[in-house]
Amino acid sequence: MNTTLHPQPEEVEPHVSRYVNYLRNDRGLANNSVLVYSPFIRGLLVDQVAKTGSVSVDAFDGTSIRSFLLERIHGRSGHPPRRTTDLVNRLQSIYV
């Protein structure tokens, strides 16, 4: 379990890499889309580690994802919330 106050990148990077590979290879997304999606997933995973001490797909419930998304998109007129929701759904699909 993580005992540091802030999650270290190495804790989430294997999961981010797996997600990026899924987007590129399984979903066929363009590099620009991957560049948009990956920071949000990294942020979600870092947030999860900060709150729970580890990365766990079991922690991806509707309430926690909704809270994360609302924190990140609040006040952003240029970033469609649907795109952010789609990327989280794609993350879940690689772990199910």
The pLDDT tens digits for 9-23 are 678 899 899 989 999
State whether the Cα torsion 93-14-46-24 is positive or negative.
negative
Q: Is pLDDT above 50 for 1?
A: no
In angstroms, rounded to a whole number, what is the distance separating the alpha carbons of residues 47 and 11?
A: 12
* Residues contacting 92, CB < 8 A, separation 6+: 57, 60
Give, in degrees to the nearest 5, the angle at Cα 78 between 72 and 67: 20
pLDDT tens per residue across span 71-94: 877 666 555 556 666 666 666 666
Model confidence at 55, in pLDDT bands (50, 70, 90)? confident
- pTM of full prediction above 0.95: no
